[in-house]
Amino acid sequence: MSITESDSNTSQSDVSRRYGAARKGMAPRTQRILIFGALLVAFATTVWFTISLNVGRLEYQDVGYTVVSDSRIEVDFEVTKDFDDTAQCMLHALDDSYAIVGARIVTIGPHEGGGESDRSNYYNSELLTEYRAVTGIVDSCWLVD
């Protein structure tokens, strides 16, 4: 038993009547516009998150230290913050067994500047110690309201 061409057309029309006409896909131009729009939104979102996470950010790092005497050490460090912010940093002097032999909280007030590179400044602070220190570090920094 073979299906003739007229039977094939009849089955196509039966299917069309039962389920509706076959849907056509989007035009290629519409697809390109939608893909470009989605990429543009993703890029804009990434830029927004990057900028919003970096604004108001506080960073710090040790630069060096100088053992002045058995009861004194100087700690050099860098702090990156917004110009109008006030930060405090906890400095520690450590002995050879990593015990804290001196500590100091340093307040860093607002400063002048205009560009992104002006957000970073270097500081030097002296700590008094109970015993001879072998290193000086910045333990932590935080913003003060």
pLDDT at 5: 53
**Terminal CA-to-CA distance of the chain, rounded, Å?**
89
- In angstroms, rounded to a whole number, what is the distance separating the alpha carbons of residues 81 and 50? 16
- In angstroms, rounded to a whole number, what is the distance separating the alpha carbons of residues 38 and 68? 60
- Out of 41-55, 86-100, 125-139, which region has the weakest mean confidence (pLDDT)? 41-55
- In angstroms, rounded to a whole number, what is the distance separating the alpha carbons of residues 141 and 144? 10
The rounded radius of gyration (Å) of the Cα atoms in the chain is 34
Residue spans per domain, the chain: 25-55, 59-144
Q: Give me the numbers of helices (H) and strands (E) for the chain, helices first please.
A: 2, 6
Asked if 89 contacts 144 with a C-beta cutoff of 8 angstroms, the reply is no
77-131 pLDDT per residue, tens: 999 988 888 999 999 999 999 999 999 999 999 888 777 777 889 999 999 999 9
Give the fold, CATH level 3, of 59-144: Immunoglobulin-like (2.60.40)
Task: Enumerate the H helices of the chain as residue ranges.
Answer: 5-19, 28-54
- In angstroms, rounded to a whole number, what is the distance separating the alpha carbons of residues 78 and 138? 9
